Amino acid sequence: MTFSAVSRIFVIAALGLAGAIAMAAADMPKLAIFGNRSTGKGLWKMQVLDSSDKEMLKNAKQMAGMSFCMDAATEMAEKASSSSGAAGKDVKSKCDSKILRNTATVAEMTVSCPDGDKSHITMTADSKDSFVIDATTTQKSGKSTMMKVRYAYAGPCKADSSVIQMDGNSEPCKKIKAQMAQMDPAVTCAKMTGNQKAACEAQMKSARAQMQKMCP
């Protein structure tokens, strides 16, 4: 497998699910299902169990070992929300969450975001460190995507963690590292001048840094 468009779509969808959970967790009362653990915190290993997108499900098997830092996901969601407000968009820029059930074994919620996306999320405890999440996200266009994912707690996030983390020896990471080897700002930005060149070099360096965090 190459780190193809389908694989990127899977990452984006999974990231969207993690972001929705993290953003909702930041604004809602503590969920009983997390016990004494802080809601929306820590590093969680992810396993896709089912999806309405069969191509995504097929490629998910080759993305095994992916983890999400919920601390970073929450921070990313909050920054995106702040940027929307600063850009003069709808003042109500944060996603609205509503808890439907909140017990020690099941949490059910809806999350509605300003971009029109709506998610229905049900979390069921496997154990104190493992949860199965059934989520259906409906876009403004009306297209819906279902994902069933198991998240297992893997400890606290390291300082300055990326949202997504993968096994450095996995096939996707091998592809990413090969891509990084070709990302030389001096070559890619060589034909540019002035501010455009400086912006290009900064963007390339930032992208490399994020990729290195993703695939240590």
What are 158-179's pLDDT values in tens digits?
Answer: 877 777 777 777 777 888 888 8
- Percent above pLDDT 90 for the chain: 6
Kindly compute the dihedral angle of the four CA atoms of residues 95, 100, 105, 111, in this order, to the nearest 10 degrees. -20
| pLDDT > 70: percent of the chain | 73
CA 66 vs. chain centroid, Å, equals 10
Mean pLDDT of 24-28: 55
Give residue 116's region: left, alpha or beta (phi > 0; psi -120 to 50). left
The two three-digit tokens of residue 182, written as one number: 């070709």
Q: Cα-Cα-Cα-Cα dihedral of 141, 163, 93, 148, to 10°?
A: 40
Going by the DSSP 8-state scheme, the letter that residue 34 receives in this structure is G
Nearest to 32 by CA among 99, 102, 122, 97: 102
Range name among 7-16, 33-42, 201-210 with the lowest pLDDT average: 7-16
Does pLDDT of 91 surpass 50? Answer: no
Terminal alpha carbon distance of the chain: 20
Residues 6+ apart with CB under 8 A from 84: 90, 93, 114
Q: What is the pLDDT of residue 12?
A: 45
Give the highest mean pLDDT range of 12-21, 156-165, 194-203: 194-203
